[in-house]
Every structure is written in C-alpha cells, then in structure tokens.
Amino acid sequence: MSWTKNRILSMLPGDIVTQLRPQLEPVELQQGERLFESNQPLRHVFFFEGGLSSEIAGANGAKMIEVGCIGLEGFSSVPAILGADSTPHFAFMQCGGPALRIEVDALRTAMDESRPLRELMMRYAHVFLIQVATTALADGRYGVERRLARWVLMGRDRIGNELPLTHDFLALMLGVRRPSVTDALHRLEGEHAIKAERGLIVVKDVEKLLELAAPIYGIAEKEYEQHIRRDWRH
C-alpha cells in the first residue's frame, strides 16, 4: 500500500521519498481556500490527496474563467517548478481535501539533486499545459453542453461520481452566466447522463458523458497515461 494517495508522489522511488517526506507537511484544505494569489510569490506546492483545486485566469478586473483543475493526480503551483516565482493566475479549492505541502525552494533543491524527480515534475507540467490548452480550445470552439460534460468527467476522475458544486461555481468554471449553466445541466439530465441536485451533481452514465464531451475530453488524459503512467521510468 502506498504511503500517499497522490499519484505523482506514489511513483517516486524510495530514495527520493526518503529525501522529500520529512519536508512534506500534511494539511487539510477547505473549500474556497486560496492556494496562491495572482502576481504574488509562490511559496508552496501542494500535492493533493483528495479534493479538487481550480486555477483561474482573469485577475485585476478581467472576467474570470477556469483554465485548469487538479486533484490527486497532480500538484498545484506548476509555474514554480518551471522556475517562475509568480503567475497572473490564482488558485483555490473547489472541493476541500487533504494535501501534502512543501516549500517551493525545498522542492526546487530536491529537483536539482534528483534527475528522476525533476523529470517526473516536468512531465506533469507538460500534461497540465495540455489541459490548459484543451480548455482554451473547448471554450473557443464548443458549446456549453459539451464543455460541461467534459468538466463533469474531469471532476469525476478526481473526486468520484458525486460532485458537490453549485451553479455559481460551474458558471465560473465555464465562463458563462448562471442561466446557461442551468440550461446545460437540464440537457445533460435529459440525456440521463447526470442528476443535478442542489449543490450536487451525480454522474449517472459515463458512456453518455463521453459521447457528449467528444472530442474535447481525453486529450490531456491520454498525455497523462502516455508520459506519466506508462512511459515514465525510475
């Protein structure tokens, strides 16, 4: 049994775990808690063991929209492991959950000392950037219903079949007005793909969601399978 539920950390060889583990602080992140602020120093990287985080573009008065979400498959503050000290985005927890937190400088030092650790971190950064690019494609070229189906599948991948999310959260995630979210939820319910209750979406038919979300769901997921789960060697 792995010492952590985080999929990235669980892939590390024992010598790197021995080095990192004393510097990983267990924390319980609450819904709505900010992980980092726009244009402020990135101080920590969070390796999620549960919950769901959201990275948001649109600070300083611009309209906000989600550009990426992360759960136990990855970690927050991706710009920090690429050498950046800040980002115009901010991130918060859509759904609370446990995480292991490490200071940015400590993780960078460990990456400098371990090629396998650095390679795995960089591979995840690649996957996350593909997710961000696919979100841009979805927002620019596809309708709300298809984008919502994709987002529900992404949420399911990270926290299971019950997604405790409000219409207001979904409007932010999809960059649309709340009535558009309500209409899209009703259409997905009409397809018997989900059940939408107050503050909760329950997945009913994954195959139908996959059909509705094609072709914009699965691009980043395939990259994760290829470059992290299948091809990465330590």
Question: What are 58-104's pLDDT values in tens digits?
Answer: 867 678 899 999 999 999 999 999 999 999 999 999 999 999 999 99
pLDDT in tens, 185-230: 999 999 999 999 888 999 999 999 999 999 999 999 999 999 997 7
Q: What angle do CA 201, 206, 207 make, to 5 degrees?
A: 145
User: Considering its fold, how many domains does the chain have in total?
Assistant: 2
Q: What is the pLDDT of residue 1?
A: 63
- Which range (16-30, 39-53, 57-71, 145-159) has the least confidence? 57-71
Task: Examine the domain organization and report whether 113 and 204 are in the same domain.
Answer: no
Identify the domain containing residue 171 by its residue range: 143-213
Evaluate if residue 233 carries a pLDDT over 90.
no
47 three-class SS: strand
The verdict on residue 132 lying in a domain is: no
Last residue of a domain, one of 68, 87, 120: 120
Look at residue 219 and tell me if it is in a domain: no
pLDDT of residue 234: 47
Q: State the alpha helices, DSSP H only, in the chain.
A: 7-10, 14-20, 78-81, 104-113, 115-141, 144-159, 167-174, 178-190, 206-213, 219-224
Flag whether 229 is in a domain: no
User: Cα–Cα–Cα angle for 162, 166, 170, nearest 5°?
Assistant: 95
Please report, as a single letter, which amino acid is at residue 3. W
Q: What is the CATH number of the domain that holds 167?
A: 1.10.10.10
Mean pLDDT, residues 167-182: 89
Same domain, 149 and 116: no
Residue whose pair of structure tokens reads 């290829």 in the numeric block? 226
Residue 56 · residue 89 · CB < 8 Å: yes
Looking at the domain assignment, is residue 224 inside a domain? no
* Least confident stretch, 13-17, 40-44, 227-231: 227-231
Q: Residue 207: CB partners within 8 Å, gap ≥ 6? A: none
Q: Are residues 23 and 72 in the same domain?
A: yes
Inter-residue contact 128 to 78 (CB < 8 Å)? yes
Is 52 part of any domain?
yes
